[in-house]
């Protein structure tokens, strides 16, 4: 009898190996990509971080609650901090990938210098990984992977002035990921009379937040949901640090507005929204503008339809019933919920349409009709 080309034992062996190969193959798709991120090489745009400690496992970053412990040449979750010779460096210092001039209402900041323009900048990287990220092209990559401008902190405010902007917005990606650049730019800009606004998810530790807050004039914090589980699954974060950020910014006297993106099937539970509003009221945020923003299909959630407008209206009603005074709906052209109403006499204080103001009934920060102070930086 002729020898068989393959025995049963060999068949099982090769079959098993083949299956493992197939399964590992798909895993490798990610694993090999990770290698390219782990680069500890410094470049011109590197800056030593002030927020890390040495541990037996490596350098531990203390900027955000992720608190990544980085071994030599490793990059953090944010992709913009690396361990180089035992020290943590930001590799996004002075190399923004995105520079634009935007209306301040686009941030959104409705109670802060209305109709002004903001010089907006971003460096690649983010400490969260939201499935619905609008700026995934820059938030989920390293500064080494983007085409960048060379714009050191001492030049940022000059650009803002050049474009006739009253403020600089650290936005689009996540300013916490490029903290050193954000901090130095804000400090210099403040000294030259330009205001600083932080548009952030607020996922930051207390010390760095308090340090930068003294140079901040306003912030819009994206309170993505009021559930730790959803924060973990949707954003790779957690709720408590963000709530803590809101409290600290308030304590530090930074003008604060909050955005809540209502994502169908993720963050559109009205009971959860009610709990969130109750927490805000209980913690003294009744004067803080809250923007319920309409989700549009984005990044990894392109199969999820946009938020129905009725859901946003219900959320707004809940928030107002819970005692919040200034509640808006965003990303819905033509809605009345863009206007600011006097919490006392209910008249229109500021009538908005998009990024324009149609009428302004504000006089020295108060309602023209009933003289009620309207919170904000006017």
Question: What does the binding site for another protein look like in residue numbers (CB under 8 A)?
Answer: 2, 4-6, 18, 21-23, 25-30, 32-33, 97-98, 100-103, 120, 122, 134-138, 140-141, 146-147, 172, 264-265, 296-297, 299-306, 308-311, 333-334, 353-356
Q: 206-242 burial, b if ≥16 CB within 10 A, otherwise e?
A: eebbeebbebbbbbbbbbbbbbeebbeebbbbbbebb
Residue 308 or 365 having the CB closest to another protein? 308
> How would you list the strands of the sheet with 52-55, edge to edge?
52-55, 58-61, 69-70
Residue 49 or 98 having the CB closest to another protein? 98
In whole angstroms, how close is the CB of 134 to another protein at the nearest point?
6
Q: 282-306 burial, b if ≥16 CB within 10 A, otherwise e?
A: eeebbbbbbbbbbbbebbebeebee
Angstrom distance (rounded) from CA 186 to CA 212: 8
Residue 87 or 100 having the CB closest to another protein? 100
Residues in contact with 77: Cβ distance below 8 Å, sequence separation at least 6, in sequence order: 66, 68, 127, 129, 236
Residue 28 or 214 having the CB closest to another protein? 28
- Residue pair 48/87 in contact (Cβ under 8 Å)? The answer is yes
In whole angstroms, how close is the CB of 283 to another protein at the nearest point?
30
Residue (of 97, 96, 83) closest to 42 by Cα position: 83
Residue 121 or 327 having the CB closest to another protein? 121
In whole angstroms, how close is the CB of 331 to another protein at the nearest point?
8
In whole angstroms, how close is the CB of 343 to another protein at the nearest point?
25
In whole angstroms, how close is the CB of 147 to another protein at the nearest point?
7
Residue (of 348, 327, 350, 234) closest to 276 by Cα position: 327
Residue 282 or 356 having the CB closest to another protein? 356
Angstrom distance (rounded) from CA 109 to CA 163: 19
Structure tokens that stand for 110 in this block: 């409705």
Residue 26 or 193 having the CB closest to another protein? 26
In whole angstroms, how close is the CB of 81 to another protein at the nearest point?
18
Distance from chain centroid for Cα 166: 21
In whole angstroms, how close is the CB of 11 to another protein at the nearest point?
9
Residue 18 or 86 having the CB closest to another protein? 18
Angstrom distance (rounded) from CA 312 to CA 207: 35
In whole angstroms, how close is the CB of 195 to another protein at the nearest point?
20
Residue (of 34, 133, 131, 46) closest to 75 by Cα position: 34
- Residue pair 257/288 in contact (Cβ under 8 Å)? The answer is yes
Angstrom distance (rounded) from CA 298 to CA 317: 26
């Amino acid at each position: 009898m002729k020898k068989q080309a393959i025995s049963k034992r060999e068949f099982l062996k090769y079959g098993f190996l083949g299956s493992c190969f197939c399964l590992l193959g798909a895993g490798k798709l990610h694993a090999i990509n990770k290698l390219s991120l782990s680069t500890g090489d410094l470049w011109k745009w590197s800056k030593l971080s002030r927020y890390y400690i040495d541990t037996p496992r490596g350098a531990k970053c203390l900027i955000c609650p992720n608190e990544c412990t980085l071994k030599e040449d490793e990059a953090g979750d944010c992709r913009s901090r690396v361990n180089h010779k035992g020290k943590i460096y930001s590799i996004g210092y002075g190399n923004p990938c995105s520079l634009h001039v935007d209306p301040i209402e686009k941030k959104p900041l409705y109670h802060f210098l209305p109709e002004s323009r903001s010089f907006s900048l971003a460096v690649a990287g983010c400490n969260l990984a939201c499935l619905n990220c609008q700026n995934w092209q820059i938030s989920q990559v390293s500064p080494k992977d983007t085409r960048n401008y060379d714009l050191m902190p001492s030049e940022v405010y000059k650009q803002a002035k050049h474009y006739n902007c009253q403020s600089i917005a650290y936005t689009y990606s996540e300013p916490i990921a490029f903290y050193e650049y954000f901090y130095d730019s804000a400090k210099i800009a403040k000294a030259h009379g330009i205001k600083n606004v932080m548009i952030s998810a607020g996922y930051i530790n207390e010390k760095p937040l308090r340090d930068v807050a003294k140079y901040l004039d306003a912030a819009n914090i994206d309170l993505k949901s009021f559930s730790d589980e959803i924060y973990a699954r949707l954003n790779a974060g957690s709720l408590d640090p963000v709530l803590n950020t809101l409290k600290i910014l308030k304590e530090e006297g930074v003008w604060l507005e909050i955005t809540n993106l209502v994502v169908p099937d993720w963050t559109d539970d009205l009971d959860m929204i009610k709990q969130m509003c109750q927490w805000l009221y209980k913690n003294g945020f009744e004067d803080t503008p809250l923007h319920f923003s309409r989700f549009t299909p984005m990044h990894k959630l392109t199969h999820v339809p946009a938020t129905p407008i009725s859901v946003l209206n219900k959320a707004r009603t809940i928030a107002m019933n819970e005692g919040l005074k200034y509640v808006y709906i965003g990303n819905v052209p033509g809605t009345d919920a863009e206007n600011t109403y006097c919490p006392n006499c209910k008249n229109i204080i500021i009538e908005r349409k998009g990024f324009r103001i149609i009428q302004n009934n504000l006089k020295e920060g108060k309602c023209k009709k009933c003289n009620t102070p309207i919170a904000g930086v006017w």
